Amino acid sequence: MTGTDTAATGDPAAPVLLFDSGVGGLSVLRKVRDVLPQAPVIYVADNAGLPYGTKTEAQIAARVSGLLGRLTERLRPRLVCIACNTASTIALASVREVLEVPIVGTVPAIKPAAAMTRTGVIGLLGTAATIRQGYVDRLEAEFAADKRLLRHGAPELVAAAEAKLRGETVDSAVYARAAEALRAHPDGDRIDTVVLACTHFPLIEDELRKAFGPGVSFIDGSDGIARQIVFLTQGQEWRREAPDLALFTRGGIDVDQLGSTLEAHGLERVAIF
């Protein structure tokens, strides 16, 4: 992942490809739009594999490397962003080894959280797969060794974010359960900072904020990702030759219901990969 890799892509219409299991990566896309509104984007949701967070490491690694291999071959992006903590913490290193294209991953925002916390107690909400990764242990050891990092895997929050973006009403008990589960850890009542370590969760930040109550700040990695994409593409030209595209690995009613959400994120075409 270097600037010279990106410079090799001469085509100004070459897109940035954002990849997630579902709609979570839209929380990253909106930050990318803020800083690079002129960038052509292809958003890929592997909804046939959703959710990743309850799968094994081997299943996720095989799925993500296989799909990204086929996607980059077919779509020739200038840069791939794995806008998914689960896929990044498990498969980023192996995907980087096999693909030529620069790859930006999603790292749980433990470092900024450690700088933010005043009580020294940080909550981390992710998928079950993410919270058990050595990647997270290493971030904790490097940046939060003098803090308490309390982790909770919350698959039902992934489903809640998907449902919300399809326009469905979600029972607020789902958010309350996640807050209670983190608070139930020893020292959990002192949490003042929560890392949203799943790209789906910034999409339900307002609901989580209500569930946690006042005095709790939330942080996720999307600003850092957007900055990294800007850095890796600096000096490159952009030309949008067609409306931006959302690709799904499976069609169906759930994709149809996402129409207005996708449009609101500037994804005017939808197709199945």
Structure tokens at 76: 């020739």
Query: Judged by CB under 6 A, does residue 27 bind ligand DGL?
Result: no
Residues of span 159-218 touching ligand DGL by CB under 6 A: 198-200
Q: How many residues would you count in the chain?
A: 273
Q: In terms of CB distance, is 43 or 236 closer to ligand DGL? A: 43
Whether the CB-CB separation of 98 and 65 falls below 8 Å is answered with yes
Burial of 167 (C-beta count, 10 Å sphere; 0-12/13-18/19+)? exposed
First-to-last alpha carbon distance for the chain, in angstroms, is 26
Q: Out of 41, 84, 179, 245, which one is annotated catalytic?
A: 84
The CA-based angle 258-260-265, given to 5 degrees, is: 95
Rounded CA gap, 236 and 193, in Å?
A: 37
Contact 36, 239 (CB under 8 A): no
Question: Is residue 81 annotated as part of the catalytic site, yes or no?
Answer: no
Residue 24 binds ligand DGL (CB under 6 A): yes
Choose which of 15, 41, 43, 51 interacts with ligand DGL (CB under 6 A). Answer: 51
Indicate the residue among 20 and 207 with the shorter CB distance to ligand DGL. 20
> Which of 198, 211, 247, 262 is labelled catalytic?
198
Question: 211 to 270, contacts with ligand DGL by CB under 6 A?
Answer: none
The single residue among 40, 53, 105, 153 that binds ligand DGL, judged by CB under 6 A, is 53
Q: Among 6, 47, 72, 85, which residue sits at the site for ligand DGL (rule: CB under 6 A)?
A: 85
DSSP label of 245: E
Least separation in angstroms between CB 64 and ligand DGL? 11
Of the pair 39, 160, the CB lying nearest ligand DGL is at: 160
Phi, psi torsion values for 170, nearest 5 degrees:
-110, 135
Residues involved in catalysis = 84, 198
* Residue numbers at the binding site for ligand DGL (CB under 6 A): 20-22, 24, 50-53, 84-86, 127, 130, 158, 198-200
